Structure 1
């Protein structure tokens, strides 16, 4: 009788162990300071164009990498990207300008059309060197602009932009620009998202051609 009683107790004890193993685990409590921020978790969204078709990469220049936060905005991204031969961007990522940072953007434009001063397309670097090379780097057809004005502005904190590399552009039957590795900035509603702007005139600056 005693033996049967002990056996029964052991069976109940084992049954209790099985029940404990089947319980759902309790979620750990994570201190807010240890939590991973959305910025770290975020993975750059895919662009409609295959990256293999685009020149360059999606890395921001080092001096800008800490001034922007990558976000997801498929509608804004779609506005900035187009197919081969149409200009715009080949690949891009949407960013928000962080607080307490200074971000300068540059735009070369057409003085005969004052409305073009605050167009959609800007650069992270000031225009330098040969005009023909600048057109190729940023896919700017001759019929779009003589590039005789330049405006320098600061980007407002919280402004959303798309930064990426340029898509190829067909200007005419005898002039095409290939896709470019140069980073371009798409700023929708630029006049509202930029401030503290200064404009400059282009001037003739001839350099000798050195023949080998």
Structure 2
């Protein structure tokens, strides 16, 4: 089922970031005469922040499990994106979780990628990119998919690692929770896809 949804945040990204001189949020972009120093400043403060505990509404629906391989796949080095820290959980039998993914319509394999969120994208795209460590060249974020995560599915809940998008743009570590899934298409059902439309404030 395909539904049009006004996601003011999503389409503003390609315009807000096209010049690469506007800052996504207050700390996302460090513009200086010395980009190497700017990146080092972020690395110096790259300790993980945020919580790896499930959202309150999910606590009763998940079990904490041990899966070192899945956790290792989700973690990234400073400035390389992925997660800074995380824990692995499994959806309990008889339960399901609603998850969201903003993605790139020009890449047909992007819809069921590894990175998801517990909440629907909203607000300004620049702030969303900063919170979820999504470089502008990785995705225009012009589609969104909402799915139900099936019982027995494993996921990593964690917080974003810093990501260097270009010489002038490095996102610091983030407290926003991200979800990491593998073989996502086999783990989800009842998916709905939405198109971004123009919206200006």
Taking the aligned partners of 1:161 and 1:85, their CA distance within structure 2 comes to 23
Taking the aligned partners of 1:85 and 1:124, their CA distance within structure 2 comes to 24
Taking the aligned partners of 2:92 and 2:53, their CA distance within structure 1 comes to 17
Listed as ranges, the matches of 1:18-97 within 5 Å are 53-97=47-91
TM, length-normalised to structure 2:
0.76
SS of residue paired to 2:110: helix
Stretches of structure 2 lacking an aligned partner (at least 5 in a row)? 1-45
Taking the aligned partners of 2:52 and 2:103, their CA distance within structure 1 comes to 25
Taking the aligned partners of 1:203 and 1:177, their CA distance within structure 2 comes to 26
Partner residue in 1 for 2:37: none
**In the alignment, is the contact (CA less than 8 A) between 2:91 and 2:150 conserved in 1?**
yes
**In the alignment, is the contact (CA less than 8 A) between 2:95 and 2:150 conserved in 1?**
no
Bigger Rg over Cα: 1
Deviations 1:7-65 (A, max 9, x none): xxxxxxxxxxxxxxxxxxxxxxxxxxxxxxxxxxxxxxxxxxxxx81011222211111
Listed as ranges, the matches of 1:1-212 within 5 Å are 53-207=47-201
Stretches of structure 1 lacking an aligned partner (at least 5 in a row)? 1-51, 208-212
Taking the aligned partners of 1:57 and 1:110, their CA distance within structure 2 comes to 28
The number of equivalent residue pairs is: 156
Taking the aligned partners of 1:79 and 1:58, their CA distance within structure 2 comes to 16
**In the alignment, is the contact (CA less than 8 A) between 2:70 and 2:88 conserved in 1?**
yes
Deviations 1:117-160 (A, max 9, x none): 00000000000000111000100000000000000000010011
Taking the aligned partners of 1:155 and 1:180, their CA distance within structure 2 comes to 24
Taking the aligned partners of 2:53 and 2:96, their CA distance within structure 1 comes to 19
SS of residue paired to 2:78: coil
Deviations 1:80-99 (A, max 9, x none): 00111111000000100012
